[in-house]
């Protein structure tokens, strides 16, 4: 399992953002980039919001993730901007569908990935406590924070075991590979969910007393900047509706 999801402290890399800031960015990107809400003015602001995950990846020196994100989103944006005026019929439809899919889904997925990867469970619980959210919300979400990375680790371990046994795509063994990967992953997912729920209760997340936390969380200059960006994103459709433009 990733150390970020186990330790109460982690090695600081890139911009250190408060978990509440990351969640605000995630919600804002999902609302204005994924759903395309807010009207024409918000759609023009969407590329600025979509640049946030790229900035965070670059500050963390995650070069591979930065390149993948830039190729998927940036390539789709450039292709849609320059190729659509010269296409018609089926090619135009395919470009609109493919580019629209990547431009809407990739920013939200990448921001979610960054949020989970760079936030410890202790930081997440502490930030949710400061928001005064009920335990019925905090405990399931803290379990989710550990569930998906743990499943990914199990999937990679199963893949390595299958490679050692010569089971991989091609060679007439593709069906066997799917069977030997999917079935163990499903079984592991059920077991992991039960163990994480038990671990959450063991750590006292559902206890009646106030839980202490050694994580230091709080807003800094970079948090203020990104939160202002979220405020602007929500203000644009409101101002547009009031002015009627």
> How many C-beta atoms lie closer than 10 Å to residue 204's C-beta?
11
Q: Kindly state the greatest CA–CA separation across the chain.
A: 66
Burial of 54 (0-12, 13-18, 19+ CB in 10 A): middle
Question: How many Å apart are CA 163 and CA 159, to the nearest integer?
Answer: 6
- 140 in the same domain as 84: no
Is there a single domain that holds both residue 96 and residue 149? no
Let me know how long the chain is.
Answer: 245
Quote the CA–CA distance of 99 and 38 in Å, as a whole number: 20
Does residue 3 belong to any structural domain of this protein? no
In a domain, 69, yes or no: yes
Local confidence pLDDT in tens for the 245 residues of the chain: 444 444 444 555 667 889 999 999 999 998 888 776 656 666 778 889 999 999 999 998 889 989 999 999 988 888 888 877 777 788 888 888 888 889 889 999 999 889 888 888 788 888 888 888 887 777 777 777 777 778 888 888 887 887 787 766 555 566 666 677 777 888 887 787 777 777 766 766 666 666 666 777 888 899 999 999 999 988 888 887 787 65
CA 155 to chain centre: 19
Q: Are residues 148 and 97 in the same domain?
A: no
CA 158 – CA 63 distance, rounded (Å) = 27
Q: Domain residues for 66?
A: 19-123+219-243
Calpha distance 60→138 (Å, rounded): 27
């Amino acid at each position: 399992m990733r150390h970020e999801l186990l330790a109460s402290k982690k090695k600081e890399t890139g911009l250190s953002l408060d978990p509440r800031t990351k969640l605000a960015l995630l919600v804002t990107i999902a609302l204005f980039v994924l759903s395309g809400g807010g009207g024409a003015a918000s759609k023009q602001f969407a590329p600025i919001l979509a640049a946030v995950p790229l900035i965070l990846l670059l500050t963390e020196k995650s070069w591979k993730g930065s390149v993948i994100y830039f190729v998927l989103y940036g390539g789709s944006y450039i292709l849609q901007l320059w190729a659509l005026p010269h296409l018609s019929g089926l090619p135009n439809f395919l470009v609109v569908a493919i580019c629209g899919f990547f431009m809407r889904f990739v920013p939200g997925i990448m921001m979610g990935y960054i949020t989970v990867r760079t936030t410890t469970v202790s930081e997440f619980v502490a930030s949710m406590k400061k928001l005064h959210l009920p335990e019925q919300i905090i405990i399931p979400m803290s379990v989710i924070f550990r569930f998906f990375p743990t499943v990914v680790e199990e999937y990679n371990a199963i893949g390595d075991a299958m490679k050692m046994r010569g089971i991989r795509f091609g060679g007439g063994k593709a069906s066997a590979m799917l069977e030997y990967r999917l079935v163990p992953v499903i079984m592991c997912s059920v077991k992991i969910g039960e163990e994480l729920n038990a671990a959450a209760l063991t750590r006292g997340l559902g206890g009646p007393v106030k839980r202490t936390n050694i994580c230091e969380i709080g807003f800094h200059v970079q948090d203020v900047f990104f939160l202002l960006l979220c405020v602007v994103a929500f203000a644009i459709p409101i101002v547009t509706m009031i002015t009627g433009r």
